[in-house]
Structure 1
Amino acid sequence: MTNLKKHLALLGFLLAAAASAAPALAQQAIRLSTTTSTENSGLLQYLLPKFEAKANAKVKVISVGTGKALELAKNGDVDVTLVHARASEDQFVAEGHGVNRRDVMYNDFIIAGPESDPAGIKGSKDVLAAMKKIAASGAKFISRGDNSGTDQMEKAYWKQVGSQPQGGAYVSAGLGMGEVLNMAAELRGYTLTDRATYIAYRAKTGLQIAVEGDPKMFNPYGIIAVNPQKSKDVNYKGAMQLIEWITSSEGQQLIAAFKVDGRQVFFPSASTAR
């Protein structure tokens, strides 16, 4: 065999080897859809590098509202989803789109608003009574308007109240939590927010906590693997690696240790719940 033929044969072998290795390397990426609260609070930036180092894997994060996060999972565009809207999560699993749902953590919702408190609700622990006063006062309320877990909870509150702000008093932003907090500060309005994102943005916005402590404002998070029987190309092995780690003692201890402005903002809750 001539040297040229030897070089061509070697090149062909190397190209074939690279082609066969490419899918394995690509498979190491774990695609995660999740809520803006886990991103805006800084939790993922804190947690994921520790998981990636241990698992020798890369997590690609898509941070959107819960509704969109579940839609991405339903379409097989991600491998695993971390969200906070239990009714929607249960429906997602019941319809066969997700498997192995686990509880991960919880925090709570609050209503944040301007220091001037135009609706006179500051210090309230009754979210429905407070929202009724907001609607009656004509004060501005900034809604996520994006079918996120926060948006779904807000809409459920208004339904129970039986009314909501009208006309220009109600602003449907279609934005993430951090951006909505900034908008609420600019418009001197109220908004429903998870506590973790509020604390992360508090210094920037100057918004005050108006309502907190109502059991109705409990905010649990769950993680779900995309069903590999529905979406053949998902990285199910990688999804389960992340699920097992984040619900392990190590993952749960790290969640408990995470702080924003010196305060714990997520509380671990992993169990065998599905």
Structure 2
Amino acid sequence: MKILKTASFSLVAFAFALLATFAPTTSQAAPAVKTIILATTTSTQDSGLLDELIPMFEKQTGYMVKTIAVGSGQAMKMGERGEADVLLVHSPAAEKKFMEEGYGITRRIVMHNDFIIVGPPADPAKIKAAKSTEDAFKQIAETNSLFISRGDNSGTNAKELGIWKKIAVNPAGQPWYQPTGQGMGQTLNVAAEKNGYTITDRATYLAFKKNLGLVILKEGDPVLLNVYHVIELNPAKSPKINIAGGKAFADFMVAKKTQAVISKFGIAKYGGPLFFPDAGKKE
């Protein structure tokens, strides 16, 4: 009888132990959020760079990344609203304003490539012979040659608008000026269909080149430098921000191993890198 009572007590104790193990308690720490939202410019997606980097990051850290590829301006708006955990963007003037307003806590340089002006081989505005990018834009306006703009508040769009402003031309509303409101890949396709000019980052152009029929007509001008930064967001602006996940991704983008991958990306397919690593460099 004593043995039976002891066995019964042991079973009851075991049952309570199981309940204590699996029952939720208010004092138990919540599991770490393992998904992060990356808001990024379309060029990092369209070029294929993120297809190479994100699996590396996920394998190294255990985080899963939800990528939202939009213009840099839209990405920063997402950051302001707390709808992203980390940003990868290329609109320096807007980024500085974003940081000054307290939406970001760190902004680190990651890499660069360049913008180029592309258009139909016939080059109706004769911009290939222009002395500078500004002169090329003047010739497009003076000849009423079709220009396809992203018109989406992206880093590329900001660069384009800055050039128009510098030459004191307001193209808005002109019949030869057509905004798409789309990403870089889509805008290149529209320019190709309509035989128009556009400004693009080199990486996206090379990724789409074989189906476009557009050629590079202006390149190498210092004004066409295209720099990318990774920005960690300020948790004081929104409780939704995954601080640890955002920092993990930012650290990953400037890590030596990642920078080495960036330096080689595109060489096998295009004969040269699409981006140049810059982590740790002074600007």
Q: TM-score, normalised to structure 2's length?
A: 0.88
State the alpha-carbon separation in 2 of the partners of residues 125 and 213 from structure 1.
Answer: 11
Could you say what secondary structure the match of 1:264 adopts?
coil
Q: Quick check: 2:89–2:155 contact (8 Å CA) kept in 1?
A: yes
Equivalent AA in structure 2 for residue 184 of structure 1: A
| C-alpha distance after superposition, 1:119-177 (max 9, x if no partner) | 11125451000000011111100000000000011001001111255632100110000
Q: Quick check: 2:83–2:240 contact (8 Å CA) kept in 1?
A: no
What is the match of residue 218 of structure 1?
A: 225
What is the match of residue 241 of structure 1?
A: 248
Cα RMSD between the aligned structures? Answer: 2.4
Q: Quick check: 1:105–1:221 contact (8 Å CA) kept in 2?
A: yes
Alignment of 1:125-136 (within 5 A): 126-136=132-142
Equivalent AA in structure 2 for residue 68 of structure 1: Q
What residue ranges of structure 2 are gaps of 5+ in the alignment? Answer: 1-7
Offset, 1:245: 1.4
Offset, 1:263: 2.2
State the alpha-carbon separation in 2 of the partners of residues 221 and 95 from structure 1.
Answer: 20
What is the match of residue 172 of structure 1?
A: 179
Offset, 1:233: 2.5
Equivalent AA in structure 2 for residue 234 of structure 1: I
| C-alpha distance after superposition, 1:176-216 (max 9, x if no partner) | 00000000000000000000000001001111001001000
What is the match of residue 94 of structure 1?
A: 100
What is the match of residue 14 of structure 1?
A: 22
Match of 2:273 among 251, 264, 267: 264
Against the structure 1 CA distance between its residues 248 and 125, is the aligned structure 2 distance closer, same or farther, given a 3 Å change threshold? Answer: farther
Offset, 1:78: 0.6
Against the structure 1 CA distance between its residues 140 and 8, is the aligned structure 2 distance closer, same or farther, given a 3 Å change threshold? Answer: farther
What is the match of residue 187 of structure 1?
A: 194
Offset, 1:16: 2.5
Answer yes or no: is 1:104 the counterpart of 2:110: yes
Could you say what secondary structure the match of 2:55 adopts?
helix
Report the more deviating stretch, 156-165 or 107-116.
Answer: 156-165
Report the more deviating stretch, 106-115 or 117-126.
Answer: 117-126
What residue ranges of structure 1 are gaps of 5+ in the alignment? Answer: none
Q: Quick check: 1:33–1:72 contact (8 Å CA) kept in 2?
A: yes
Q: Greater CA radius of gyration, 1 or 2?
A: 2
Could you say what secondary structure the match of 1:246 adopts?
helix
Q: Quick check: 2:144–2:176 contact (8 Å CA) kept in 1?
A: yes
What is the match of residue 44 of structure 1?
A: 50
State the percentage of identical aligned residues: 44
State the alpha-carbon separation in 1 of the partners of residues 41 and 116 from structure 2.
Answer: 17
Q: Quick check: 2:39–2:86 contact (8 Å CA) kept in 1?
A: yes
Could you say what secondary structure the match of 2:145 adopts?
coil
Aligned residues: 270
Q: TM-score, normalised to structure 1's length?
A: 0.91
